[in-house]
Chains A and B, each alone.
Chain A
Amino acid sequence: MNTILRLLEDDSRLTPAQIALMCDKEEGDIRRMIADYEAEGIILGYKTLIDWDKTDREYVSALIEIKIAPQRDRGFDRVAEKIYNFPEVQSLYLMSGGFDLAVLIEGRTMKEVAYFVARKLAPIEDVISTATHFVLRKYKDKGVIYGPAVQDERGNIL
């Protein structure tokens, strides 16, 4: 089962027909398995990796460390929910170590991000402090290196 998930994680464009041939299975079975994964929330979506730095899109991303006071019974979940529901928030992780939540957010300008932190994140009840780190460059994401397109330079040797 993990084979199919790993294949799709690596290339979500693979069709059920392709996966079936690669794994000696019936296409219908693969289709059903993928539908089950989706229904169970194991597969949550299919996205595309884009290096926006190669386009003219203006954007900035930041990693924000947040310290919070955990609430009785609900731990960090309630605060986390308040934060992840903002569409600006790309990722949110509960962390061990010197702070509690790591938020990855994207905005059009640094000002916009700073504004978001000051107006939306910091005022949330139980948030004790925030520290904003702007991303200067993305080198690698989801296992993919962000750089020049890779050319096939292998020589034909015979």
Chain B
Amino acid sequence: MSFDYQSVLGHRVREINPSGIRKFFDLLDEMKDVVSLTVGQPDFVTPWHIRSAAIESLEAGKTYYTSNSGLIELRRELSAYLERRFDLHYRAKDELLVTVGGSEAIDLAVRGLVDPGDEVIIPEPCFVCYEPLVTLAGGKPVIVTTREEDEFKLTPALLRAAVTERTKLLILPFPNNPTGAVMTREDLEKIAEVLRGTNIMVLSDEIYAELTYGARHVSIATLPDMWERTVVVSGFSKSYAMTGWRLGYLAAPAPIVHEIFKIHQYGIMCAPTTAQFGAIEALQNGDPDIEMMAEEYNRRRKYIVHKLRALGLDCFEPRGAFYVFPNISGFGMTSEQFCEKLLYDYKVAIVPGTAFGSCGEGFARISYAYSIQHIDRALERIGQMIADLKSGR
């Protein structure tokens, strides 16, 4: 029996391109003895006191659904945390929503704000989910290309050039995966200046906010007149090494949360209860864990930037997240060719920059969520490939 599945699938889902990098990862999974620098998650295990709190909640039989918005105790802790760490002010009662990872929060914000035909400005290179989610919501992604010479920041000129009457939403993914770029208060002020007086909303993805090096992360929602038009999304994955727990949150003015809440209520019901109990412990007693992990990432960051530069790779200095994004355009290969050669011939896996938008051509993402000794093993092989390329082999 043959069945024409294309005729039954919705056109929006068919319009979305599958992540091109999947193919590369499948290849990687099949190969042996590869030193990988590809993962986008911490190499730390969730601190034991957090795991322990979650286990205790299970032992105590706390296996029920929570309220749709998440445990009120968790939202109170979140409210205190956001104020303590980032000077962000959100009421536990009606301005915070606990979600299944930061990813759900992004989806909720996009679906809650975007109508068919609305334009959504997405600065690339960036994490892969924004464009497909905008497409699914019927919106029109408007890609803005950040540049290495601007330290991969979104500049007011780039933003102004992309704004039209149909612009509904600006996605602001900083600290940035894959570039490691951050936006300082001054940078954000220039962006805010473009937005004030318009109806454009901001979706600020601050999942890497705790991983900045040299200066604390600033949220655009802390700038004058910006809180009202900003939806902040974040989560526990990167800051507390809790990726597998799938817990995030969305913070926004009450009228926005009130409406977005419905999508979450009907689609998800509530975030995993056990994870929520772990998260309460994380927020209450996890600040030292954050500092310890951030210090460790910072040492690796300095190490890998120095080393890559010593190997002759042009490398923008990342100020956030746990990635470096070296320029590999000088070798006469596309990013994919470079990464495939590195994988096949030198058994090192890194991610082609094009996985994060076509403007990632000429770059590659290297994760330093690995031990120094592991990083060194990989760098040695990368160095060998560069030496071979330079000597024409």
Contact = CB atoms under 8 A, between A and B. Distances in A.
Contacts of B373: 11, 13
Interface string A137-158: 0000000000000001011111
Interface in B62-79: none
Interface string B189-213: 0000000000000000000000000
B40 A21 contact: no
**A-side binding surface: helix, strand, loop or mixed?**
loop
B43 A21 contact: no
B39 A22 contact: no
A21 B21 CA distance: 32
Given A158-B25, A158-B355, A23 B299 contact: yes
B38 interface: yes
A158 B21 contact: yes
A53 B36 CA distance: 30
A18 B40 contact: no
Interface residues of B, number: 26
Contacts of A11: 371-373
A14 B373 CA distance: 8
Given A11-B372, A11-B373, A156-B25, A23 B302 contact: yes
Given A158-B19, A158-B25, A158-B128, A18 B372 contact: yes
A40 interface: no
Interface in A107-158: 152, 154-158
A21 B310 CA distance: 11
Given A21-B307, A156-B28, A14 B40 contact: no
18 contacts: A7-B299, A11-B372, A13-B373, A14-B372, A18-B376, A21-B303, A22-B372, A23-B299, A154-B41, A154-B243, A155-B39, A155-B41, A156-B25, A156-B29, A156-B38, A157-B41, A158-B21, A158-B355
Q: Ordered nearest first, which 6 A-B pairs have the shortest CB separation?
A: A22-B299, A156-B25, A21-B306, A21-B303, A22-B303, A154-B39
